[in-house]
Structure 1
Amino acid sequence: MDLLSEEMLYQKSSQELTALLYEGLIMNLEEAIECIKTKNFMDTNKKIQKANDILERLGVGLKYEAGPIAEQLDTLYNYMANLLIEANLRKDPQIIQNVLKLVQPIAEAWNEILKKQVHTQSNVTKKVLAYENNIMRKNF
C-alpha cells in the first residue's frame, strides 16, 4: 500500500477508506506470516496488533441501519480478531492464513462494488452534464 498524505486521505470517500483498510489488513497478515517464518517474533506481534486494530476500525465503521449484513460483518470481524490473538500467542501462521482466507473474498467483493459505483457515478455525471449543456443552449 502506498503511503498517503493526510490531505489525500481526507479526499477519499468512506468506501475508498474501507478498501484501504482491507488492503492494509491483508498486507499486515501476509507480513506477519513472513515474520513467523523468519522467527522475527517482535515484528510478528506488531503486524498482528496492527491487523487487529484495522479489524476494530472496520467494525466501528459499520452502519447497522444498513441491515443484517452489518451485524454479520461485526461478528466476523470479532471472530477474526479472536483468531489473531490466538495466532499471536501461538505464533501459528496457519491461523493467520485462515483469517486471510476469510478477509480476501470480502476485500475483493468490496473492490468490485467500488468499481461498479465509480462506473455508475461516471454515467450519471455524463447525463447531468449533457442535461446542463442542453439547458444552457436553450437559454441562450
Structure 2
Amino acid sequence: MTSSPGHGRGAYAYARIGIETSAMSASPHQLIVMLFDGALMSIRTARLHLEEGHTTAKGEAIAKALDIVNSGLRAALDHERGADIAHQLDSLYEYIARRLIVANLNNDTVALDEAEHLLETIASAWREISPDRDPHAS
C-alpha cells in the first residue's frame, strides 16, 4: 500500500489538532501532566537518536524537552501561593535543565537518564495529587 506525499502532512495536522483540542479542554492539572508527558517523550526520543548517532535530531529533541521544562513547567510555578515547594521545584527544574544541556553537549546518557528519572518522579507525584483522582480507587 502506498501513501500520497500529502498523507504525512495530513496525519501530522490531524494529530496537532487533537493535541490542541486536548489542551484547550484540559484542566490546569491536566495541562501540567501533558507538559511532563511531552518532556519525557522528548527525552526518550533524544535517547533513541543518540543511540542511532543522529546528532541533529538528538539536539532537537533535547531542545524541545528543555523548552518544556523552562517555558512550561518552571513558568507554571506559582511562587506566591506555592512558596517553599515552588522554590524547591524551580531549583529542581533548573538542575534538570542543566543535566539536559550536559547530555546534549557531551552525548551523556547518564545525564539524560538522570533528567528522565527526576522528571518521571515529579510527574508520578503530580499524577497522584490529581483533583480528578478517586481517593478510594486502588
TM-score normalised to the size of structure 2? 0.79
Whole-angstrom CA distance in 1 between matches of 2:19 and 2:38: 15
Whole-angstrom CA distance in 1 between matches of 2:65 and 2:102: 13
| Bigger mean CA deviation after superposition, 47-56 or 101-110 | 101-110
| Residues 103-118 of structure 1: pairs in structure 2 closer than 5 A | 103-114=119-130, 117-118=131-132
Helix, strand or coil for the counterpart of 2:129?
helix
- Equivalent residue, structure 2, for 1:11: 25
**For 1:58, which of 70, 73, 78 is the aligned residue?**
73
Q: How far off is 1:7 after superposition?
A: 3.2
1 or 2, which has the higher helix percentage? 1
Whole-angstrom CA distance in 2 between matches of 1:8 and 1:30: 22
Provide the aligned length of Structure 1 versus Structure 2.
118
**For 1:88, which of 104, 110, 124 is the aligned residue?**
104
Higher Rg: 1
Give the AA of the match of 1:99.
Answer: A
- Equivalent residue, structure 2, for 1:126: none
In structure 2, relative to structure 1, the CA distance for the partners of 1:26 and 1:5 (3 Å cut) is: closer
In structure 2, relative to structure 1, the CA distance for the partners of 1:50 and 1:118 (3 Å cut) is: same
- Equivalent residue, structure 2, for 1:68: 84
Whole-angstrom CA distance in 2 between matches of 1:27 and 1:40: 17
2:120 is aligned with 1:78:
no
Whole-angstrom CA distance in 1 between matches of 2:126 and 2:94: 19
Q: CA RMSD in A?
A: 1.7
TM-score normalised to the size of structure 1? 0.78
Question: Any unmatched runs of 5+ in structure 2?
Answer: 1-14
In structure 2, relative to structure 1, the CA distance for the partners of 1:95 and 1:5 (3 Å cut) is: closer
Runs of 4+ off more than 2 Å: 2-8
- Equivalent residue, structure 2, for 1:29: 43
In structure 2, relative to structure 1, the CA distance for the partners of 1:94 and 1:68 (3 Å cut) is: same
Assess if the C-alpha contact under 8 Å between 1:36 and 1:92 holds in 2.
Answer: no
Give the AA of the match of 1:31.
Answer: T
Question: Any unmatched runs of 5+ in structure 1?
Answer: 121-140
